Chains A and B, each alone.
Chain A
Amino acid sequence: MKHTVKKTLVASVASALVMGGTVAVAAGMDVPIIKATPVLEGLDKPWDMAVRADGTMFFTEKCKGLSMRSPNGQVTNIYGMKGSSGYSSSGADLFCEGQAGMMGVAPDRNFDQNRRLYVASTSDKYHGSGCKSNFERCDGNIVMRLTLSEDLKSVTDRTDIVTDIQYKPFESNQPFGGPGAHNGGRLRVGPGGYLWIAGGDRHRGVCPQSPKLLCGKVLRVDTDGNAHPDNNPPAGFDKRIYTYGHRNVQGIDFRPSDGKAFTAEHGPWHSDEITALVNGGNAGWDPQEMTAGRGACPDKYCGYEPEQMDGMDPAVRASYMPMSDTRFDDLMPPTWNNNGWSQGTSSAAFLKGENWGIYEGRLATGVLGIGFGGTPIGQRIDMVGITPDGLGINAITRMPVGFSKRFRGLVMAPDNSLYVAVDEGEIYRITATSQQ
């Protein structure tokens, strides 16, 4: 026994030395060369992209519409919004306002066969009798399933598969208080080909915890807009809901190792968050007035309180209006909270491929940059290493792209490069080259 222990110990030490040496070499050697190259410039508020294996890139511009860049660099305007010109066709119901407009785009997993794209946009087609005030239902966000022509330059069919995501129709007494606020809008196709739709609370206090309103939710639906059969929201909730209690999700992607969904969302003057989603879970955002010890709030929304127009210690504000309220038993605790700051986390994408070296598998997270009340502006892309249980981080490194801009949309391309849209009007292709 003694001998066995000794042998095991020696083997363990030897193994540790070898492994430690390997890790050390890897850590020292496999830091990839990262390079950003502009793909398109002079765009108007580019928001999201979808890239095919041959380099074809579909992209949205928030107030113009959907376009396609061919591998040879030629740009074709495919489907415009109300008032757009130069598009093959347009949707007269599609409009932009404030933070809202044409937003997420994602390809069907069988795109090569069916040429289907999913696109999120603001629309006035389904307002019905609603939308007369900020305190009633206003169905103003939709998800369209577009079928493209064989040359991918026009739309041959549009089917609206989700038509009842809420929109903020009027100005309110909040920072960023214009119509269209907190509109979420990112789309991604996840495991099994199901569509994930990330939403925002549209500055309405009751939204995130409401069982029926789709604002402040992440939805998981099939390609016809029906609920995934395994969605498990609380009893009485709309079955399309995968998670609820969100503030404004603009980033969602799936960890390559296990398919687990993670979101990135903006915080309220504090605590931007990355969250590991749990089927039916609660992200813990509840900005209702007269709730959790809070009194009346401006326009019934406590989301920036207290003293919403003045800077204060983010931790003090967080104790009054938490991003992830621990009074909820089904709370999904955040993976990361940006050290308690709000700088505007937007899109997120897991870095795939050995070319990313030591950063392979990390979650690239775009930060728009908001410098309020003494918070550093912080425009950057972070590469966040997430623990296997999804409940914490084990590394965080700023991506060395050589510039700071408002990083709005991030998506991986099939060639394992990262495409990045910035509010300034450019789309970049970021490549990583392994040094091993």
Chain B
Amino acid sequence: MLNLVGLIAVGVALALPQVAIAGDAAAGDHRYHQSCHACHGPAGKGVSSYPKISGNPVEYTREKLKAYRAGQKIGPNSGLMIMMAKPLTDEEIENLSAYLKDAKYEK
């Protein structure tokens, strides 16, 4: 009986479309201030020679952070980004991506 229930559950799960878990923007804001704010400035606006990283789709930021975490070089400051992305979990990447999508610096 239990095996039958398990099989049904697996079947239902497989039948459902894959849905990414939405990141928590508030948690992303907190994480951003721990690791990213000093270089990229408030709300990811970009400061000095560090680029603007806000206003991008979640998919874009997620892809870039995962690439850096995997050690891929993308541009001249990749060394710094690879170091900063190394400790990020999947959940933190989702949260950061959600926060940066709509982050705005109002001044």
A residues touching B (Cβ–Cβ < 8 Å)? Answer: 41-42, 45, 62, 98-99, 171, 173-180, 308-311, 368-372, 377, 379, 406, 408, 423-426
Contact = CB atoms under 8 A, between A and B. Distances in A.
Interface residues of B, number: 19
Given A62-B48, A372-B80, 18 more contacts: A171-B76, A174-B79, A175-B77, A176-B77, A177-B77, A178-B76, A179-B76, A310-B83, A311-B83, A368-B48, A369-B38, A377-B38, A406-B48, A423-B48, A424-B41, A424-B42, A424-B45, A424-B105
Contacts of A42: 107
A424 B76 contact: no
18 contacts: A41-B107, A98-B49, A99-B48, A171-B76, A173-B79, A175-B79, A175-B80, A176-B76, A177-B79, A178-B77, A308-B79, A309-B83, A310-B83, A311-B83, A368-B48, A369-B38, A370-B38, A406-B48
A177 B41 contact: no
Given A424-B41, A424-B107, A180 B79 contact: no
Contacts, number: 64
A369 B42 CA distance: 13
A252 to B, nearest CB: 19
B82 to A, nearest CB: 7
Contacts of B49: 98-99, 176, 178, 180
B26 interface: no
B8 interface: no
B47 A423 contact: yes
B79 A371 contact: no
Q: Specify which of A368, A369, A377, A424 lies most central, judged by the most chain B CB atoms within 10 Å of its CB.
A: A424
A310 B80 CA distance: 9
B99 to A, nearest CB: 18
